[in-house]
Amino acid sequence: MAERLKIVVVGSVAAGTSAAAKARRGSEDAEIVVYERDTDISYSGCGLPYYLGGQVETIDELTPRDAAWFAQRYGIDVRTGHEVTAVDAAARTVTVRDLASGEIFDDDYDELVLATGVSPVVPPLPGADADGVFTLRTPSDATAIRGWIETRDARRAVIVGAGYIGLETAEQLTQRGLDVTVVEREAHSMPRMDADVADRVDDELRAHGVDLLTGTRVTAIETSDDGAARAVRVEAGAGPGSGSGDAERTVETDLVVVAVGVRPNLDLARAAGVRVGRTGAIAVDRAGRTSVAHVWAVGDVAESFDLITGEPAWVPLGSTANKMGRIAGDALTGGDLEHRGILGTSIVRVFDLAVAQTGLTEDRARAAGFDPVVVHHLKPDRPAYLGGQEMLIKAVADRGTGRLLGAQIVGPSGVDKRIDVLATAITFGAKASDLFHLDLAYAPTYATTKDPVHYTGMALDGAISGRAALVSAAELDRRRDGGEQVQVVDVRSAKDRAKSAVDDSVHIPLAELRARADELDPALPTVTYCNKGVTGNAGQNVLRGRGFADVANLSGGNTTYQRHVRGRAAEGR
């Protein structure tokens, strides 16, 4: 009779419990032990900000499963309050401390799964260890923050960092009635997104009363006589933009939430001698195996790889962690599942906006060696007569191959549907031209007859083929700043032009363009534009039909261009 397989899992949030549960499904005979130093397991970390705001009433709603549930359902021995302090990969043992009793003991394993996750990064600031300074990673963190707010009747909060957790926390604390300041070192919130998309998130935050300080860093946290945080000192000019205009200022506060990022928990990995990849997370193969035999790594502590470039990637998300845990649990018990890579697909609600992205941004596509073709689409999620609301889709494709590379979407409604369609298309290697042919669901209560996804594919395909070239606001400015003579034609009405216009543009409304085309120089590179892009494309077609060889449409029209101009002004360029 074969010896019984013993699997030890260190960590019990998304990846660890997923690995253990899948291993049990693969083997009824295996002995599976999970060690967790915290008291909560399998909790919804992504739901923690909503407990702060009261949208989730009790913390128990985010911790629906406990050790007893896993024991009953799967026959898995989950030991909370037990910290694994050392690994001996040669002897295949771990050293464990029972945090309640102080007992230290060794346990053996046949296969070891490291699901040790990440820890929040806390900059070494004066006052960072003061009372009232928090990170938000675990249910105990959320409980401590909410308790602080309620017992001290907190009215003001400073959030350091404008990524996912920072913005969700800003939303929830604002809706709870606190005055919220967000400090972000980069030029925009959501630093992983392109600036011409993230600026819409900046506007949304400020429209809801959040004091967003971009291009600004925290220099110290000041404390009151009782040792609690009372103010945050900040300095503008830390990045290419500033939200305040002041070099230094002090922001009074009743609590501080530090959300500047996370780093993998690598102590046990280093003890086991496994290789750490260039992303700073544990290097693994497609099943989760590390460089050391019988040691696996899953979830936020482990690297993935980019589905487009094939390069190692580390984007710590709960969805990816669950997937990696399931794959490793399958492989541990003889299965053949393999990880196929990630696109970093994500979505976050910021007040009335959904903010989503998948795949490569324009900047990352260029850095990866692609020749990016970019479209900015401003389209309603459904017809206006049924309450359609405008979303911005910025999509990127490769000029050489036509392959769809990435998308970013911001809007009040319908964003989740479109980002998932685009993520699916990218996953299966779709070209931009394929998007038009997708047979998507249509009814006016849900979509337009040509969905925004269809329009995205049509515009990208036209730009790639040369039938309908596009130029972004940033590219137009780069060309003109570089001395190139570009003829810019505004094909809007006089009423629209009076509101704002591209500098040094010629105004010829579309209805007059055919008759007045001879006022333009067909030998010059020409850019047409309207408010959002559709009429600009019509003007582009007119001029092409009149023999203009080099005509591009301004991507996203004047709406996107004016945002670009404001962004340049804010950055001092």
The set of catalytic residues is: 46
CA separation for the pair 493, 474 (Å, rounded): 24
Looking at the chain, the number of H-run helices and the number of E-run strands are: 17, 30
DSSP 431: B
The amino acid present at 276, given as its one-letter code, is V
Alpha-carbon gap, residue 48 to 44, rounded angstroms: 7
Q: Tokens 């399998």 sit at which residue? A: 42
DSSP tag of 413:
S
Distance of alpha carbon 275 from alpha carbon 153, whole angstroms = 48
Which string of b and e fits 316-325 if b means at least 16 CB within 10 Å? bbbebbbbbb
- What is the token pair recorded at 279? 């992303």
Give the three-state DSSP class for 573: coil
Q: Which two tokens stand for residue 99?
A: 């945090």
Q: Show the tokens assigned to 284.
A: 């693994």
Distances (CA, A) of 337 to 114, 169, 287: 18, 36, 7
SS (H, E, C) 469-514: EEECHHHHHHHHHCCCCCEEEECCCHHHHHHCCCCCEEECCHHHHH
Residue 408, strand partner residues? 357, 394
260 φ, ψ (degrees, to nearest 5)? -90, -5
Residue with tokens 């500033």: 242
Neighbouring C-alpha atoms within 13 Å toward the C-beta of 68: 1
Report d(CA 229, CA 250) in Å as an integer.
12
Name the residue with tokens 């400015």: 477
Query: Tokens representing 530?
Result: 């309207």
DSSP H stretches of helix in 118-231: 139-152, 164-175, 195-207
Picking from 421, 420, 414, the residue whose alpha carbon sits closest to that of residue 445 is: 414
Residues 6+ apart with CB under 8 A from 435: 404, 422, 425, 453, 454, 456, 457, 458, 460, 461
Structural contact between residues 210 and 203, judged by C-beta atoms closer than 8 angstroms: no
| Cα distance between residue 211 and residue 231, in whole Å | 15
Buried b (16+ CB within 10 A) or exposed e, 399-432: eeebbbbbbbbbbebbbebbbebbbebbbeebbb
CB 131 within 8 A of CB 152: no
3-state helix, strand, coil in the chain (%, to 5): 35, 30, 40
